Amino acid sequence: MLAVVAASALAGCAPRLYHWGQYEDSLHTRVTDTSPEGRQKAFRMLEQTIQEAEQARQRVPPGVYADYGYLLYRGNRHDEAVLYLRKEAELYPEAKPLMDAVISRIEQKQTKP
């Protein structure tokens, strides 16, 4: 019994691996409010989540940079989108093949007249 109590106490002191911030809320907002205002609200939540994580020197969770990059792309901010997709690939090497493919498609679209 004492071991369970000690383990529980220590688990509460463990550092959090990721800073999730408002990521879940941003996903929910995009699904439930597809208006331009809803998309903008979701974008701001993701932006804030990234800023908070970086300022606190915590890891940005898997998929957050990619999701943010996608929203930047949808907003015709292609250069910034590529930057965040590359951040996702650097932080999570398992995502690199997908991020490289997406970046390649963005770059192809930019070079077409």
- Does 36 map to a domain? yes
- Does 93 map to a domain? yes
pLDDT per residue as tens, the chain (113 positions): 545 444 444 445 556 789 999 999 999 999 999 999 998 999 999 999 999 999 999 999 999 999 999 999 999 999 999 999 999 999 999 999 999 999 999 999 887 76
pTM for this prediction: 0.81
In sequence order, the 6+-apart residues with CB closer than 8 A to the CB of 63 are: 88, 95
Number of domains in the chain: 1
Output the pLDDT for position 5.
Answer: 46
- Does 14 map to a domain? no
- Of 44, 55, 53, residue with least CA distance to 21: 53
> What distance in Å separates the CA atoms of residue 15 and residue 17, rounded to the nearest whole number?
6
- Does 65 map to a domain? yes
| Helix-helix angle 96-111:64-74, to 10 degrees | 10
Output the pLDDT for position 17.
Answer: 87
- Does 39 map to a domain? yes
> What distance in Å separates the CA atoms of residue 76 and residue 84, rounded to the nearest whole number?
14
Output the pLDDT for position 37.
Answer: 94
CATH of the domain at 97: 1.25.40
Q: Which domain holds residue 30?
A: 20-111
- Does 68 map to a domain? yes
- Does 13 map to a domain? no
